[in-house]
Amino acid sequence: MIDEGKPIFLQIAEQIENDIIAGSIAEESQVPSTNEFAAFYRINPATAGKGVNRLVDDGILYKKRGIGMFVAEGARARLVDARRTRFRDEFIRPLIAEAAKLGIDPDQLTEMISTEGVSA
C-alpha cells in the first residue's frame, strides 16, 4: 500500500484526499485520528501526523479541540479543482509521450480516447 520513493506523509495526505474526493469521507464528518492512521498503515505516528497536518494547512481538514479532525465544507470541490490542474502533468503528458513512442498520431489517440469513453 505504501509506495517506495515517495514521502509517506504525502501518500497519507493523498489517501485521505482520495477518500474525500470519492465521497467515502463526507464533508463535516470526522476522520480517523493520527494514531489510528499510524496503526492502520503501520507507520510512525509522527509521519501520519505530518500528512494530516498538511491537509489542515491546506484547509481541507480542521481541528475541533478535544474532539478530533473533521473534513472542511467545500473540501471536495477544492480537491477536485487541484487534481484537475495536475491531470495534464500526471496523465496527459505521459500519455502523449508513450503514444508518440508507439507511433500513434494525435488523431488516432483522440479516436482511441473517444472509443474508450463509449465502452467505459
Partner 1 sequence: MTSSSPSSTASSAVVSVHGLTKRFGKVTAVDNASFEIQPNTITGLLGRNGAGKTTIMQVLTGQDFATSGDVRVFGEHPTENARVLSRISFIKESQRYPDDFQPKHVFQSAPWFFENWDADFAAQLVEEFRLPVNRRIKKLSRGQLSAVGVIVGLASRAPLTFFDEPYLGLDAVARQLFYDRLLADFAEHPRTVVLSTHLIDEVSQLLEHVLVIDQGTLIIDEPAETLRGSATTVVGTRTAVDAFVAGRDVLHRDGIGGLASVTVGRLDADERREAAQAGLELSPVSLQQLIVRKTNLTEKEFETQS
- Total site size for partner 1, rule CB under 8 A: 26
Residue 79 sits in the site that holds partner 1 (CB under 8 A): no
**Which H or E element spans position 17?**
helix 8-21
Give the integer Cα–Cα distance in Å for 6 and 19. 19
The C-alpha cell of 67 is what?
Answer: 474532539
Contact pick of 18, 26, 29, 35 for partner 1 (by CB under 8 A): 35
Q: Which residue in the set 28, 74, 80, 93 belongs to the binding site for partner 1 (CB under 8 A)?
A: 93
- Answer yes or no: are the C-beta atoms of 90 and 97 closer than 8 Å: no
Examine residue 54 and tell whether it contacts partner 1 (CB under 8 A): yes
Short-list 8, 9, 1, CA closest to 51: 9
Using CB under 8 A, pick the residue from 19, 30, 32, 45 that binds partner 1.
45
Q: Give the footprint of partner 1 on this chain (CB under 8 A).
A: 2-10, 34-35, 38-39, 41-47, 50, 54, 93-94, 97, 101
